[in-house]
Amino acid sequence: MKRVKSGHFVAYILKCSDGALYAGYTNDLEKRIKTHNLGKGSKCLRGRLPVKLAWHQDYKYLRCAMKKEAAIKRLKKKQKEKLILKYEKCNKDFF
């Protein structure tokens, strides 16, 4: 039987300095964004720093966060932007 990793996991979208969007997942969002901005995260972001959080969603299970990241990566940029806009409207007090 497979072990299910549970805890606190996050799927996220970062907006790069050049306007590109990057999707990922982590168990520590604040630390992961800092790591990216230090140039020690994903290699594809190193020339696009700094990055800022554009969207995130919390999950109890790692597999769910991974599935959401994969689904986001399949979206076209316009679809990702629509997701971000909807998120911003729902969380307008935090932006």
Share of the chain above pLDDT 90, in %: 75
pLDDT at 5: 77
Q: Name the fold adopted by 6-94.
A: GIY-YIG endonuclease (3.40.1440)
Segment 24-39, tens digit of pLDDT: 999 999 999 999 999 9
Q: Where are the domains of the chain?
A: 6-94
Over range 30-52, report the average pLDDT.
92
State the chain's mean pLDDT as an integer. 91
pTM of the model: 0.88
C-beta neighbour count of 53 within 10 angstroms? 14
pLDDT at 31: 96
**Between vectors from CA 29 to CA 57 and to CA 82, what angle results, nearest 5°?**
40
pLDDT at 92: 67
Residues in the chain: 95
